[in-house]
Amino acid sequence: MNLPAFDDVTTIGCVGVGTIGGGWVAHFLARGYRVKAWDPSPDAEEKLRTLIDMAWPALTELGLAEGADPHAVTVHSDLAEALDGVGFVQESAPEDLTLKRELFARIEAALAPGVVVGSSTSGYSMTEMATELNDPGRFVVGHPFNPPYLIPLVEVVGGEGSDADAVTWASGWYEHIGKSVITMEREVPGFIANRLQEAMWREALHMIENGEATVEQIDLSITEGPGLRWPLQGPMLTFHLAGGPGGMAHMLDHFGPSLKSPWTRLGAPELTGELRDRVVAGIDEEAQGRSVADLIAQRDRSIIAIRRIIDQIRADEGNGGAGDEGEGPGGPPHA
Amino acid sequence: MNLPAFDDVTTIGCVGVGTIGGGWVAHFLARGYRVKAWDPSPDAEEKLRTLIDMAWPALTELGLAEGADPHAVTVHSDLAEALDGVGFVQESAPEDLTLKRELFARIEAALAPGVVVGSSTSGYSMTEMATELNDPGRFVVGHPFNPPYLIPLVEVVGGEGSDADAVTWASGWYEHIGKSVITMEREVPGFIANRLQEAMWREALHMIENGEATVEQIDLSITEGPGLRWPLQGPMLTFHLAGGPGGMAHMLDHFGPSLKSPWTRLGAPELTGELRDRVVAGIDEEAQGRSVADLIAQRDRSIIAIRRIIDQIRADEGNGGAGDEGEGPGGPPHA
């Protein structure tokens, strides 16, 4: 497969520019690319320009690429015109399998060879979506998080017909444009982050249904608790630190049995020796020689800084708006 | 029940001063209280003083109460001596039901009337732990998160024998000393935050076991993705924002059916009209009139600031330590 060099890509095709697709447009513009957008909605262009205007101050604060221009986007009513001359396509059409299948065939017919297509889908696999394509090789999933211009994560995975080279190219490309990439070995419904989010969300719904917690208590339990740890250290490292100096190995060896306690509606897997070893080895790899004490020092520094930010944002809100930098009462609902 | 005024409490009894109990001691000292600690481990005092020394710079940065003194703690080998004259007791003994039951009886025998006892337990209910008490009225759960001197959340819940007044007093007391309190209406194994964390943790273990994700991918999927949203807005508000201008109601009405998709091993509850209405009403209450647009503006501001902090911490690490404030490459494992 003859794929372009990253530096040769200057113009991006964005197919579907609602909340997610429009967020991608904002990201590409901030990174200095030209964007050609296509969306059949009559008010797509107006909504897109509003979204870009709203996002631009944030993107400016995060740092724009040289030459980044919020106006470097054209909106086309003709798909072939929109895809003419682009070096990459991000597809963010509505989550409708029939629609995606038909749209992919139209993209294939109009798009120059060697141009990779990344799909923002959160609900379908590329294998499911690629059924109408003559050659699905260059079609991969590049699943972002909302808003795509602020949340770095992109989950990349190919379908059965995707070329391994196209998957590798897409992962490198998303890294090239400033995203944090997870390349998955195989298709898993929901990918990774949404499966984890969904498990928590479903447990929350069960608790609300049973009167065990209110909506607000669910949110407070995260924002005032474990949520403060997660921007720096994910759930696995969190448990590694909960194990004390012995880390994850100690945690699994001593608290493994309590996994079977009836704490959530989600059944626990059998903690086999193999699973235990795989988790411990994974943590070792991730920690890269950093001791539990080092990780704790980092965590504490991060929590302090994050708490200050959140307090400031709530104080500003209490004082009547994000533009007000004065110190004030934090006020409800989180004080 | 004759309970003290918060301002009359000047000395705290801390029973058990390992990682959690020691973290409580650090918090109480930072808030300007005197602490009398009891712990049967021979090296308890040494470890406690090391923990306080390590926590103090962070506590200083967060802001100390007037007169806060890291040395205002005495460690006693005699429980009755430790509890003499204290206005509140925080119990953080090991998670062993027999031990807790016996210890509670000893605390009851030694403690002046009207002094409330909060237990740090994460694994037991007060009803289970209070079986050896003559009068369990003043014993409640006050469950913190690690480290208790940085994570604000405390989950408060009474047992069957706890006085409602003692539960109310404990909730007010923890707020008084700067914690964020969730007062639960009834005992739920795992309380709230740990149930949510556990659901995610179990889903992660399933994914690792099945080769669907590595340990590091699990963590990256949170730290680079939804974890950036959770210090400000919990999982329910996150879904409220995912619903667009229509918010949670739109989300549940349009995406409710996909709850049944096989995205996690955790079964979803039936989305009855009643559950739907309860969730929507809960979000309305939590949002307190803030529009989805307002909430999005807050979220974006928070994510930008948090990303800057995390980038700085990782850059400092790449440059050789938390003390180094220079700009440098973020480097692995999160770059």
Per CB-CB distance under 8 Å, the chain A contacts of B94 are none
3-state secondary structure of B139: strand
Subunit contact B235:A204, Cβ cutoff 8 A: yes
What are the tokens at B230? 């959770």
Q: Report the alpha-carbon angle B25-B26-B29, nearest 5.
A: 85
List, for residues B143-173, the tens digit of each pLDDT value. Answer: 999 889 999 999 999 999 999 999 999 999 9
Lowest-confidence region among A47-51, A87-91, A204-208, B176-180:
A204-208
d(CA B97, CA B23) in angstroms, rounded, equals 22
pLDDT of residue A295: 82
List, for residues A291-311, the tens digit of each pLDDT value. Answer: 877 887 788 788 888 888 888
Q: If you average pLDDT over residues A35-59, what whole number do you get?
A: 94
Of A153, A189, A224, the CB nearest to B262: A189
What are the tokens at B277? 């209405």
The distance of Cα B164 from the centroid of its chain, to the nearest Å, equals: 22
Amino acid type, A150: L
Cα–Cα separations (whole angstroms), residue A203 to A101, B195, B262: 33, 7, 15
Subunit contact A199:B194, Cβ cutoff 8 A: no
Of A150, A204, A281, the CB nearest to B303: A150
Subunit contact A196:B218, Cβ cutoff 8 A: yes
Subunit contact B232:A310, Cβ cutoff 8 A: yes
pLDDT of residue A260: 59
Question: Would residue B178 be called left, alpha or beta, if left means φ above 0 and alpha means ψ between -120 and 50 degrees?
Answer: left
Count of residues in chain B: 335
Which pairs with CB-CB distance under 8 Å and at least 24 residues apart come from B251-259? Answer: B252/B276, B252/B279, B252/B280, B258/A123, B259/A202, B259/A205
- Helix/strand/coil (H/E/C) assignment for every residue in B31-78: CCCEEEEECCCCCHHHHHHHHHHHHHHHHHHHCCCCCCCCCCEEEECC
Subunit contact B221:A182, Cβ cutoff 8 A: yes
pLDDT of residue B319: 55
pLDDT of residue B259: 60
Subunit contact A193:B222, Cβ cutoff 8 A: yes
List, for residues A59-94, the tens digit of each pLDDT value. Answer: 998 889 999 999 999 999 999 999 999 999 999 999
**Could you give all domains of chain B from N- to C-terminal order, each with its CATH number?**
6-183 (3.40.50.720), 224-318 (no CATH)
List, for residues B50-89, the tens digit of each pLDDT value. Answer: 999 988 988 998 889 999 999 999 999 999 999 999 999 9
List, for residues B83-137, the tens digit of each pLDDT value. Answer: 999 999 999 999 899 999 999 999 999 999 999 999 999 989 999 999 999 999 9
* Size of the A and B interface in Cβ pairs below 8 Å: 374
Cα–Cα separations (whole angstroms), residue A80 to A21, A83, A261, B240, B305: 18, 5, 57, 36, 40
Lowest-confidence region among A159-168, B237-246, B314-323:
B314-323
Lowest-confidence region among A58-67, A144-153, A258-267, B321-330:
B321-330
3-state secondary structure of A128: helix
Number of helices (H), then strands (E), belonging to chain A: the values are: 12, 8
d(CA A40, CA A22) in angstroms, rounded, equals 13
List, for residues B9-61, the tens digit of each pLDDT value. Answer: 999 999 999 989 999 999 999 999 999 999 999 999 999 999 999 889 889 98
Of A186, A225, A281, the CB nearest to B193: A225
What are the tokens at A270? 């059998």
Which carries the bigger pLDDT value, residue A28 or residue A58? A28
pLDDT of residue A321: 41
**Reported confidence tier of residue B322, pLDDT bands at 50, 70, 90:** very low
pLDDT of residue B318: 65
Sign of the C-alpha dihedral, residues B46, B92, B156, B285? positive
What are the tokens at A185? 């070995």
The ipTM estimated for the assembled molecules is 0.88
Subunit contact B184:A150, Cβ cutoff 8 A: no
Amino acid type, B78: D
Q: Are B326 and B320 in contact (CB under 8 A)?
A: no
Which carries the bigger pLDDT value, residue A187 or residue A301? A187
pLDDT averaged over every residue in chain A:
88
Of B297, B310, B333, the CB nearest to A322: B297
